[in-house]
Amino acid sequence: MQNILDPKVLEQFRQEHKLQPYRIRQIEQEIFHNANIDFADMTTLSKEMREQLAADFSVVPLTVDRIDECKETSKFLFQTSDGNVVESVLMYHFHKDKKTKKEKLNRMTLCISSQVGCSVGCIFCVTGKMGLKKNLDRTEVLGQVLYVNNYIKKRFGKREDGTLFRVRNIVFMWMGEPMMNYSAVKKTSEYLTDTRYFWLSQRRVTISTSGVIPSMEKFIDDKLPVSLAFSLHAPNQTLREELVPTIAKFYTLDKLMAVLDRYTQETGNEVMYEYVMIKDKNDMHEIAHQTGTLLQGRKAHLNLIPYNENPAIDLEESDAKQIRQFQKIVLSYGVPVTVRENMGREKKSACGQLGYEKVVATLTQQK
C-alpha cells in the first residue's frame, strides 16, 4: 500500500481517475485541517473517491500497539510495517480557569521519534542502550503527528472557538538522534511548518541534537524554519566525553560552540541548551560555575532536566536542592535557566524512559 503523502503518487492517482486538480487540495484539507486519517471519515469527498483512495493508499504507515494514558501524558506505541516499535509522547499542559477555578486543558506538546534506537549511546539514555535499529522515513515521522492529531480530535473535539484541539508544539526529543537522520527530519520539518500542511510556527517545532556537526552545518545552511535545542550535559570536554561517549570525541565542545554561535548569528534565534542533572556526575557547584562561564554572553537558555532513573542504568537523579543551587549559580552569570518539570513518570513516559519494558528487561539480563 502506498502512502498518500507522496505528491507524485497522488498526482498520478488524480490523472488515472481523471479528477480535477482541486481534488488534491481537498484531500490535503481532510488530512491536515480536519485531522482525518481514515478515508471513510473524509466526508467532503465523494463516496466513490473515498473507496478508490482506501483501496490504494494509507495515511499513517504505522499501526498502534498500545496507548498508555495518565493525567499528564499519553504514550503511543506504534509499529512500523517492518515490525519495529516507535514511540511518541503527548504531554498535556493545564491552566486554571479564572472564573470556575477548575483546571482546563490549555495546550499539548508532542514528543516524536526520528529513529528506532540511537547510535550515540549517551550513558544515561535507554534509547542509546538499544543501538540504532532503523532510520524512520518522512511518512513514519509525520505519521506520528497525524495519528495523534486524530486521537486528540476524537478525545477532545473542538475548542470554545470552534477550532479543533490539536498538537501545538512538536519536539524531536523522543527516540533517536534527528541529526543522524537529517534528510527525513528536514522534509518532516518542512511539512510541519508549511502553511499548506500543519502550519506550525518556527517557535513551535524544535529539533534536539546531541551535537552532530556536519548535519548542524547543513541545518544552518538550509535555513530550516524550526528551533534548535542542543544537549550540552557538560561544560567541559572531559566530562562531555564521559556522558556522550561516541561522538563527543571528534565533535568537540569547542567546535560545537562555534557552530552554535554561527547559528545564533545567522538566524538571530537563541539556542536551548539541555542539561540532564545526574547526581555527583555533572551537578556539582564547580560545574555550575563552568556552565555559567560557557553560556555567559551567548544567546542561550539553559533547561535543567532532572535525570529519570531507570533500573537498567546505575545513575541517580540529582537532589532537588542541588538542582536549585545549580540553577542559582548559572543564573548569577546572567544566563536564563529553567528546570523541566518531569511529566509522565508514572507511565514511564518521561525522557529516557521510553521503550521501557522491553529494553529494561534485556538490559537487566545483561547486567
Residues in contact with ligand SAH by the rule CB under 6 A: 118, 124-125, 173, 177, 208-210, 231, 274, 276, 305, 307-308, 351-352
Smallest separation (angstroms) from ligand SF4 to the CB of 119: 7
Pick one of ligand SAH, ligand SF4, none as the site partner of residue 121 (Cβ within 5 to 8 A by kind): ligand SF4
Of 60, 32, 22, 26, the closest CA to residue 195 belongs to 32
Active-site residue identified among 111, 122, 125, 351: 351
Binding mask 171-190 for ligand SF4 (x = CB under 6 A): -----xx-------------
Smallest separation (angstroms) from ligand SF4 to the CB of 10: 33
Smallest separation (angstroms) from ligand SF4 to the CB of 233: 9
Indicate the residue among 57 and 219 with the shorter CB distance to ligand SAH.
219
Pick one of ligand SF4, ligand SAH, none as the site partner of residue 351 (Cβ within 5 to 8 A by kind): ligand SAH
Restricting to residues 82-141, name those near ligand SF4 by CB under 6 A: 118, 120-122, 125, 127-128
Smallest separation (angstroms) from ligand SAH to the CB of 10: 31
Pick one of ligand SAH, ligand SF4, none as the site partner of residue 274 (Cβ within 5 to 8 A by kind): ligand SAH
- Number of residues that this document lists for the chain: 367
Contacts 24+ apart (CB under 8 A), 244-249: 244/120, 244/122, 244/123, 244/210, 244/211, 245/121, 245/122, 245/123, 246/119, 246/120, 246/121, 247/120, 247/210, 247/211, 247/212, 248/211
Smallest separation (angstroms) from ligand SF4 to the CB of 118: 3
Q: Does residue 36 bind ligand SF4 (CB under 6 A)?
A: no
Indicate the residue among 243 and 329 with the shorter CB distance to ligand SF4.
243
Applying CB under 6 A, the site for ligand SF4 has a residue count of 10
Residue with cell 553560556: 295
Cβ atoms 50, 42 nearer than 8 A: yes
Pick one of ligand SAH, ligand SF4, none as the site partner of residue 173 (Cβ within 5 to 8 A by kind): ligand SAH
Indicate the residue among 299 and 340 with the shorter CB distance to ligand SAH.
340
Pick one of ligand SF4, ligand SAH, none as the site partner of residue 308 (Cβ within 5 to 8 A by kind): ligand SAH
Judge whether 351 counts as a catalytic residue. yes
Judge whether 70 counts as a catalytic residue. no
Pick one of ligand SAH, ligand SF4, none as the site partner of residue 354 (Cβ within 5 to 8 A by kind): none
Q: Does residue 274 bind ligand SF4 (CB under 6 A)?
A: no
Active-site residue identified among 30, 87, 140, 309: 87
Indicate the residue among 58 and 318 with the shorter CB distance to ligand SF4.
318
Indicate the residue among 31 and 351 with the shorter CB distance to ligand SAH.
351
Task: Measure the CA–CA gap between 253 and 80, rounded to whole angstroms.
Answer: 36
Q: Does residue 354 bind ligand SF4 (CB under 6 A)?
A: no
Smallest separation (angstroms) from ligand SF4 to the CB of 60: 23
Smallest separation (angstroms) from ligand SF4 to the CB of 122: 3
- Surface-to-core class of residue 247, CB atoms within 10 Å of its CB (0-12 exposed, 13-18 middle, 19+ buried): buried
Which residue in the shown chain puts its C-beta closest to ligand SAH?
Answer: 352
Cβ atoms 302, 330 nearer than 8 A: yes
Active site residues: 87, 351
Binding site for ligand SF4 (CB under 6 A): 118, 120-122, 125, 127-128, 176-177, 210
